[in-house]
Amino acid sequence: MSKLKGLYSHQKNTQQKHTQHKALFLDRDGVINVDHGYVGHYDNFDYVEGIFDVVRMYALAKYKIVIVTNQSGIARGRYTEADFHVLMNRVKQDFADKGVPEVAVYFCPHHVEGSVPEYVINCACRKPKPGMLLQASQELGIALYDSVLIGDSWRDIEAAHAAGLKKSIYFSENAIPAGASIEGVRKVEALQQLTAIE
């Protein structure tokens, strides 16, 4: 698939010399929208309180805004890839209306326990693997070590760490897992706690 081709080309390319941008990476379900489980349509998309303020703060500080989201609902047949694109086009328009005109979206439609054969693969993009972040870095000219990720699952934090990010925000009511050794993680339970750039 094209997404995997992008990952492979990243591995072959030498370090590019174009401008390196900082990025705010965002998980989707549980960070941007309330995680109702397999959200594939706009009528079930409820924004998490405070998300627009946080994203606008980073955008104004010249961070690229990049959504990186596991979407196993596609592999499981809960909604289609086309449904996902329709939904995310509406979401990008909502961000534009709130003063954030440029939002990139990377997604993983795969799951080894899926029911749609073309998506039932052990891919390189499903978090906690770092594939989506690496692809975004290659395609958008992102300096991963200067970037920040907000995720509500520890696998988001693991993906950020594997990609070379030095800072992540664990947005969860759950404790950091016992024995976790990833440094540079800030835990918050409300997005309103994020009042300055990390």
Catalytic residue, from 27, 46, 83, 146: name it: 27
Burial string for 142-160 (b: 16+ CB within 10 Å, else e) reads: bebeebbbbbbbbebbbbb
Could you tell me the CA-to-CA distances from 143 to 64, 132, 171 in Å, in that order? 10, 14, 23
Q: What b/e readout covers 175-190, taking b as 16+ CB neighbours within 10 angstroms?
A: eeeeeeebeebeeeee
Work out the widest C-alpha separation in the chain, in whole angstroms: 44
Please confirm, yes or no, whether 53 is among the known catalytic residues: no
Is the omega angle on the peptide bond into residue 177 within 30 degrees of 0, that is, cis? Answer: no
Q: How far apart are CA 108 and CA 76, in angstroms?
A: 12
- Taking the CA atoms of 37, 42, 43 and 46 in sequence, report the sign of the dihedral they define: positive
Taking the alpha carbons of 139, 144, 146, 147 in that order, is the dihedral positive or negative?
A: positive
User: Catalytic site residue 29?
Assistant: yes
Helix 2-12 to helix 131-140 angle, to the nearest 10 degrees? 70
Catalytic center residues: 27, 29
